[in-house]
Amino acid sequence: MQRQWAGVVVLVALVVSGVACGGAAQAATTATGHPASPLRAPKTTPVEDATYLTDVAKADSNLATYVQQDGNVAFRAMLTDGAAFCAFLRQGGGIDTALADVALGAHSVESQTHLPLSVHTFNTLESVAMIDLCAGEQHLVPASVRAKLHQLAASLRSSADSQEPASG
C-alpha cells in the first residue's frame, strides 16, 4: 500500500506544477436554473493543489487507481471538480445545489476524463476540496457537515504523520 502512495505522490509532484486551477472560470448554467454568472475558482498554490490530489488519493483508493491509470487527465479532472465545487458553493444555493451542478458538469465530460461517477467519488472530491482548496467556505455548509470535514481532515493529517520517515 505504501508503494501505491509513493507512486501517487511522485505523480502529483511531477504534474501539479503544470496544472493550473486558479482564476476565473467561464459562465456556467447551474442545475437549478440559477442565472449563469462567472464562477470564481479558488486561488490555490501548486503546494495546495498537490495536497488536495494526495489527500483525495488517500481518502479513496478508487481515485488513487484512477490517477495511476489516467495520469494527467485524472489530475486535471479532479482539480477541476474540486475547484468547480468551491466556485458553485461560493455562488450560492447551498451544498446540494453545488453538488448537483458539479455532478452535471462532470457527467458531461466523463467520456473524456473517465472520472468515476459514483456518489462516493463526488463526496470524496468535494469533501477534500472543502478541506484543502476552499476551507474558508466551510461556513456555508451545515454544522453537521463541518464536523465530518474536521474528522476527515484529522484522519488525513494523521495518516500523513504516520507516513513520515522516523528520524533517528
How many whole angstroms separate alpha carbon 69 and alpha carbon 78?
14
Q: pLDDT tens, 31-86?
A: 555 556 778 888 999 999 999 999 999 999 999 999 999 999 999 999 999 999 99
How many whole angstroms separate alpha carbon 108 and alpha carbon 13?
28
Give the pTM. Answer: 0.74
Interval 81-110 mean pLDDT: 88
* DSSP type of residue 40: E
The answer, yes or no, to whether residue 165 has pLDDT greater than 60, is no
Return mean pLDDT, the chain: 78
Interval 122-137 mean pLDDT: 93
How many whole angstroms separate alpha carbon 9 and alpha carbon 133?
18
Distances (CA, A) of 106 to 24, 111, 116, 125: 18, 10, 9, 12
How much is the pLDDT for 78?
Answer: 93
Sequence-ordered list of residues with C-beta below 8 angstroms from that of 157, at least 6 positions apart, any chain:
none
List the beta strands (DSSP E) in 22-140.
24-27, 38-40
